[in-house]
Amino acid sequence: MNILVFTKRVPATQEEELRLISDGKDVDFSKLPFKVNDWDNYAVEEAVKIVEKGGGAVTAVSIGSAESDEVLRRAIAMGAKDGFLVEVDQALHDPFARSALIRNFIQKEGTPFDVIFTGVQSEDDQFASVGGILAALLKLPYVSMVIGIDSVEKDHMIVRRELEGGLQERVRVATPCVVSIQSGINEPRYVSIMGIRKASKVERKSFKGTDYDAGKDAHIELVQWTYPPKKGGAQMLTGELGDVCAKLMEILKEKGVYQ
């Protein structure tokens, strides 16, 4: 089975302060480290696991700046055979524009695949829409929130979708299809610096987004960024750690959960 898997380089924003610049038209990423999107890491692992077991090849594709080569090297270190970079000058905020670019790329290059994997969403914009729009544009069946792949057959797969409250739904989906992978589906393998260095020797192909009408199919536009609306907010306990912890214990006693 040949699997195309999409992987995105995103800013690591956990525990980082995000600053708006240019009157909310931009976010200052200059001091932030970057990483692979968590969901894509699970998708790459799942794709590699499937070809390790049943044969075929994984091709990792990234849409982004030249630096996105990082996440392609990482995917190759995990077991992908090829890495394709579709370079775009600026972020495509609209998931429709991204899906249209991917469709144009796949159709123009005639990239062969049996299944396309994406992560359910990306950590930065959380749209959770690229896989679904892409499936529709390619006229393929779609399944999202996939938390388990029970079997991979010649013309179909049996997968489990994560619903709410611990419930899952088992679904049969014909291939070719687009599948969006949920985090927690597997244990992504550890990638060493040596492994990434070795992967650097595998040639990655680079394409120009402008050759595939990047950004032409936008249906929404970003007006501006804002900070989150402030709610009540917590009463902050400050001071020496020992005093803060003593105060915490008082609260627990007051609430009757610790005697």
Partner 1 sequence: MSYALIVAEVRRGIFEERNLDSIGICAQLGKETAMLLPEGQYSFNEKMVDSIVKVKAGEEVFLNPLNMAAIIGKIAETRGKPDFIVFTHSSSGTEAAAYTAGIFGFPVITDVSGYDKERGVFRKSYYSDKLFGEFKTIGESAAVLTVRSGSFKEFAAEKSAAPNEVSVEDVPVSDSRTFVEYVEEEKTDIDITKADFLLSVGRGVGNKDEIPAYEELAGIMKAVISGSRPVIDKMWLPKARQVGTSGKTVKPKVYLAMGISGAFQHIAGMKDADCIIAINKDAEAPIFQYAHFGVVADMHKVRDALKGILKG
Minimum distance from residue 53 beta carbon to partner 1 (Å)? 20
CB of 34 to partner 1, least distance (A): 13
Nearer to partner 1, 128 or 196 (CB): 128
Peptide bond just before 176 cis, omega within 30 deg = yes
To the nearest whole angstrom, how small is the minimum distance from the Cβ of residue 122 to partner 1?
10
- Judged by beta carbon, residue 173 or residue 191, the one nearer partner 1 is 173
Report yes or no: 157 and 177 within 8 Å, Cβ to Cβ. yes
- Which tokens sit at 10? 């995103």
Task: Give the shortest CB-248-to-partner 1 separation in angstroms.
Answer: 7
Between residues 201 and 255, which has the closer beta carbon with respect to partner 1? 255
In the complex, least distance from residue 85 CB atom to partner 1, rounded to whole angstroms: 24
Contacts of 84 (CB under 8 A, 6+ apart): 59, 60, 61, 62, 72, 111, 204, 205, 206, 207
Closer to partner 1 by Cβ: residue 45 or 82: 45
SS (H, E, C) 124-189: CCCCCCHHHHHHHHCCCCEEEEEEEEEEECCCEEEEEEECCCCCEEEEEEECCEEEEECCCCCCCC
Q: Are 6 and 59 in contact (CB under 8 A)?
A: no
Gap between the Cα atoms of 2 and 56, Å rounded: 5
Query: Which CB sits closer to partner 1, 170 or 197?
Result: 170
